Amino acid sequence: MILELHRQGVSVSAIARQVGLDRKTVRKYIERGLEPPIYGRRPRRASKLAPFSRYFARAACCVSTADRATSALRAARTRLHWRLQHSRTSGRSSRRPSRYASRSCRGRQGVLADI
C-alpha cells in the first residue's frame, strides 16, 4: 500500500497520516522497497496443566459434595506439586507434601486412593 501510494505521487507525510506510521518509517519502507509487515494473532500456547487434566478429572469425579470436592482438589494439587518438585533433575531441595495433603487422603476409598 505504501509503495502503491508513492508510485501515485502521494507525499510521504500524506502516506504516513493515511497508514498511521511515522514519516521516517514510511521513508525507510520506500527506500528499501518494502511493505510493512502484517501481524496476525499468535497461536495460543498449550496450557502447562494440560498433561495433568486427566489427573484432576479423576480426583474430582470421586467426590460427592462441593466441600469435599474443594478439599480433594486442593490435596490433589498439593500432591501434584510435590511430584513435580521431585521430578526435577536439578540439585534443589524440595519440601515434603503438607500434613493437610496426607490427612485428606487417608482412609479414602476409590479413585483418590490410587492417585
Mean pLDDT score, 48-63: 76
Using 50, 70 and 90 to split pLDDT, how confident is the model at 107? low
Q: What is the pLDDT of residue 13?
A: 93
Q: What is the pLDDT of residue 72?
A: 76
SS3 40: coil
Q: Averaging pLDDT over each range in 26-30, 36-40, 78-82, which range is the top one?
A: 26-30
Residue of 53 and 68 predicted with greater confidence:
53
pTM: 0.34
Residue of 32 and 14 predicted with greater confidence:
14
Q: What is the pLDDT of residue 12?
A: 93
Question: Are 2 and 12 a contacting pair, CB within 8 Å?
Answer: no
pLDDT digits (tens, 9 = 90+) for 70-98: 777 888 888 888 888 777 655 555 555 55
Grid coordinates representing 54?
A: 486427566
CA pair distance 104, 39, nearest whole angstrom: 50
